[in-house]
């Protein structure tokens, strides 16, 4: 291989890298700095969570504003934020490119559902029970740490 061929390959590599960086910046948009890269394990946990919904992955991630996917999406946001410890901007990105503020609104709706369990639709029971179990475990951890003092 000649030096000219090697220089051409280097030039093309740098050009490709610049295109990839530009594409990444466009993809992440203005909230890109808050979007975290999830490990394979955390991404699998999130994917499993979305797949566990009765509406299904496609409906949860889509822009559909029908009742079933929306209600489950609120609970998915709550679980992703509180149990899986994923940032709001990242959750929004994973749920079809939604804004961080949309995720925050979903968290508020989910908190209201937790406060008033009678408002939880029957098709959300599986996710809601997961939230209750998580909150129960968290409160027992807190009470153990207080009793150790």
Contact 60, 76 (CB under 8 A): yes
Residue 31 is predicted with a pLDDT of: 47
Q: Which is nearest to 104 in space by CA: 92, 114, 118, 116? A: 92
Residue 29 is predicted with a pLDDT of: 56
Cα–Cα distance list, 117 to 25, 122, 124 (Å): 41, 11, 11
Enumerate residue ranges in the chain where pLDDT < 50: 30-31
31 CB-contact burial (10 Å; exposed 0-12 / middle 13-18 / buried 19+): middle
Q: What is the pLDDT of residues 59-88, one digit of tens each?
A: 888 887 777 789 999 999 999 999 999 999
Residue 12 is predicted with a pLDDT of: 80
Q: What is the pLDDT of residues 104-113, one digit of tens each?
A: 999 999 999 9
d(CA 6, CA 124): 59
Residue 28 is predicted with a pLDDT of: 58
């Amino acid at each position: 291989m000649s030096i000219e061929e090697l220089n051409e390959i280097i030039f093309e590599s740098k050009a490709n890298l610049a295109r990839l960086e530009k594409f990444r910046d466009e993809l992440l948009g203005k909230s890109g700095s808050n979007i975290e890269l999830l490990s394979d394990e955390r991404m699998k946990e999130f994917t499993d969570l979305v797949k566990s919904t009765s509406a299904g992955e496609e409906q949860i991630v889509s822009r559909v504003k029908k009742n079933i996917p929306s209600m489950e999406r609120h609970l998915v946001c709550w679980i992703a934020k509180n149990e899986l410890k994923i940032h709001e901007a990242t959750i929004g990105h994973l749920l079809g490119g939604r804004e961080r503020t949309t995720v925050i609104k979903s968290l508020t709706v989910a908190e209201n559902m937790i406060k008033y369990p009678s408002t939880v639709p029957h098709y959300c029971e599986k996710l809601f029970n997961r939230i209750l179990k998580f909150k129960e475990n968290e409160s027992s951890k807190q009470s153990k740490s207080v009793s150790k003092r």
